[in-house]
Amino acid sequence: MGEKVSESTVIAAPVATVLDVITDLDAYPDWAEGILEAETLSRDDQGRPATARFRVDAKIAEVRYTLEYRYGDDEVSWTLIEGETISQLDGRYALTPDGDTTGVRYDLEADVDIPLPGFLKKRAAKQILEQGLEGLQRRAESRG
């Protein structure tokens, strides 16, 4: 079982802009710290990413993984399909529209295949979460 972390923020951009940033996976290397490559492999019937492959700099090694995406009302979630060194990488962005701003809750559950103490796994998951949320906020606000 992975380490569960979550964090919330308010982004000064409308929900449509935030969703556009979240679903433009191929642009993640431009703004998401540590992501070296992102490639959308398939799309759903609405043109949104359904599966995508990533290559990231995980500080101790480069890691590759593939995620499957699902969409709900103002929500994007993903599940790990396969990965190197990673056994779990499941997450969700839940968006709450509020006029020209958007409340964002980011939930993440992550685990690795290498033996690490729980506090190190938790710290790594928290770092992924914080970097992702900060990058999303910067990118969306620069467009919003």
Distance CA 8, CA 103 (A): 7
Q: Residue 85's closest CA among 124, 129, 45? A: 124
Amino acid identity, position 114: I
pLDDT number for residue 17: 96
The single-letter DSSP state of residue 26 is G
Average pLDDT of the chain to the nearest whole number: 88
Q: Tens digit of pLDDT for each residue in 24-75? A: 999 999 999 889 999 999 999 999 999 999 998 877 678 899 999 999 989 9
Query: Whose structure tokens read 């992702």?
Result: 132
pTM: 0.88
Relative orientation angle of helices 118-143 and 15-23, to the nearest 10 degrees: 120
Residue 70 carries which DSSP code? E
